[in-house]
A and B are shown apart, each in its own frame.
Chain A
Amino acid sequence: MQLQAPAFSFGKLALACGFALTALSAGAATTLTIAALNNPDMVELKKLSPAFEKQNPDIKLNWVVLEENVLRQRVTTDIATNSGKFDVMMIGTYEAPIWAKKGWLYPMDKLSADYDVNDVVKTARDGLSYGGKLYALPFYVESSMTFYRKDLFAKLGLNMPEKPTYTQIAEYAKALKEKGGVYGICLRGKAGWGENMAYLSTLVNANGGRWFDEKWHATIDSPEWKKSVNFYVDLLKNYGPPGASTNGFNENLTLFASGKCGMWIDATVAAGMLFNPKESQVADKVGFAMAPSGVTAKGSSWLWSWSLAIPKSSKQEQAAKQFVQWATSKEYIKLVASDLGWTSVPPGTRISTYNQPEYLKAAPFAKFVLNAIQSANPNDATLKKAPYSGIQFVGIPEFQSFGTVVGQSISGALAGTTSVDAALKAGQAAANRAVVQGGYQK
């Protein structure tokens, strides 16, 4: 309270200076401010949103579109200070349960009857729930899978099974590099918890590893991690593109789309882009398979959804909920289909989308995507029991920071500035320090 008194007089002073040029006049209609991510699906939502405003003439929409990292920082500041500048926020599977636990979000209950919440893919709902309640509705959902060049595989007499293993992947990468005239495999190398660590966590899961044991002791120095990271570094050093340690999703997308990669394991959303002849030179040559497995298939493909949530600081819960339901409804998916065609509808959210014959025809990758998403369970992602939820991340607030530190040391090992053992040792220390400080370790 004490802080507010001088602050207020400062405000008066500031206003007295005559610079209150744009004191906002609240109109009669409800205005919703939406914080959204800049990606093709969101751009389309913004474009089609006048249809919602037409149906609801008393609701006006304001858009704030930002790049992922800026968006994350911006909405976190807003929600942590209870500022209420946003009524709808686009958040990921990582944030939803953490923010729900802190009491920052309105639960998504009492949805309208025709919304048909059971049509929303169950694993996606699970990833956005906390304590059995849903806190965000998925706008699009992605998992990871293997992309490969059908033409090169045929030429070299190789055969990609529907469910490949990492042993096979290594053999194919060698053959493609040595005889196929392309880089055998492209993988994420750029450091970051949502970059290289997203992929590496699934590789570690496939090899039977995990981030922490049941007592929250880090296991980054375990044999499973050593095996995984050594495999990853050797694979990319021997058969990957040069400078792999700086490649993220976009760099690999460009490499694969321009015909320079034989295989690529990454987000299922890439399918829509690789399959589009306007964006990809290999559109008619792309094959799809599940993400590779190791000793287990558990947790070998990730689950991520960009979802719409309503912060507790919003004063327009009802209107916001109306919009969120509209944007994630069957009706909206049909609207996108009639505007851009079925290939471009937001993937992975609803079973009914995958029952549309038009969609299955337009998007041959559809079944794989749905399979990958349905088989990814964020609450049971590791062979040995783990105390956290999340497949390609650890669902605690501290993860953003130590996940990136581990990512940086592994990226260093890939670039050759440090050894794998040293990188894992540093990662182990960072992860342990974070959970001890956070009071998780028992």
Chain B
Amino acid sequence: MTINQSGWKPTSPTAKDGGAPATFTGNRALMLEEPLIFEIGDLHTTGVDFPDGDVAGSRLGDLTRKDPIGLAGLSEPETVRHYTRLSRQNYAIDLGLFPLGSCTMKHNPRLNERMARLPGFADIHPLQPVDTVQGALGVINELAHWLITLTGMHGVAMSPKAGAHGELCGILCIKAALEKRGEGHRKVVLVPESAHGTNPATAAFAGFTVEDIPATPDGRVDTVALEARLGPDVAAVMITNPNTCGLFERDLKRISDAVHAAGGYVYCDGANFNAIVGKVRPGDLGVDAMHINLHKTFSTPHGGGGPGSGPVVLSEALSPFGPLPFTARHVNGHIQLVEEETAGDDHPDTFGRMTAFQGQMGMFTRALTYILSHGADGLRQVAEDAVLNANYVLRSLEDTLDAPFAASGPCMHEAIFSDAGLAEGFSTIDVAKALIDEGFHPMTMYFPLVVHGAMLVEPTETESKAALDQFIGALRSVAERAKAGDQSLKTAPHFAPRARLDETLAARKPVLVWKEKPLAVAAE
């Protein structure tokens, strides 16, 4: 393995192609060796031709730039080629199965994209008069209706921009409700080990003290330990369902009843709602607040493909504290935007705002398109197929890889394996890197923390049986090599544009800023 000691740029392509000659360009046929954009182009090139300005003089005074900015220019074809070449080195859901666990990398239907690009949704401004954006507000209002209906809740805050932002919104609602009750002294938030890692961070950020609740060996919340910890200092429990071990928390109703009896609230992390949508209504399980990742359950693009969106559904107890602004449909059909100036006496207990405006319009349009084009039967099938696919992966590989929760009943959205049984010195990362050679994006590694060397696979409902069989075959082959101690895995990937990178060096000596002569500086 050759490592550029500066750490600032990955290794050059390694000659692993069986003694094939080096090429003059460094390219390998259609796999092109692309430099950084700063390394191509020059100061005298530009892709645009502006007419000379007709403004006499500058009003910038002393602020006028005196030195050239020093950015190299590119012509339009050079620019197009640069980014097209980079995109060819990327892996995307449109290229193949994307097994990242808990990330729900599912197909983004093209119909969603077509709707989101309609000018009435795409080319509007959040400060436009509401009379001119009634259609867009109608989309927000109708999506809100369906999110409430699908979850069996009372209200919804649409503005949070992602899952963790939604968590914060829900926890701030709980905080406001406790303060209104005069119980601001409740400072403890209980977080089970089977919950998402963002949950304790959210609670701590909102000023609460986090206490862990252990998981049982079968991968669920230890309900007895949780009930024993409830008391007058507990503000809320944050529970992920289905949880991050890929299992349904069967005791959630019992837990909610116990938490409510003790005066606390139940926050449910709904990131994995895609496994139960159309089948289970969290409101029926006593949940007070739950965020829904539109970019996961309702297929809006994410992972570099688009912004997230994390609306939070709220129980009747918490709805009065939800953030501004929100939409309200009047009997005459007009949709109003309820903001500070218009909230009046109707929504006096709001905790404030999460965002400047109404949320992610493009994501709302895509999510509503997905919901309406699937219908009730289609959404139920989404959940059923996602769970079926995950169980197919789990049961197909449990004879080869250790599956710590295989005896805990069917899994939900994802299958989990550990590194137990791999040969001495071999770990999850070697399996993941070898999957790159097989043409797949690796699964989630080393999470959840309760599983040693965790490999977390979430196939989603997108994949056909043929696609799953190919992935299962690849993972089985790699796992068997890792169990047999095949040393070539330690240097995988062999066929990627870059071989095994030194992630430790990159983390210890990160070089975050491009400099013209970076090598001497970065080596220090």
Instruction: Verify that A and B bind, or say they do not.
Output: no
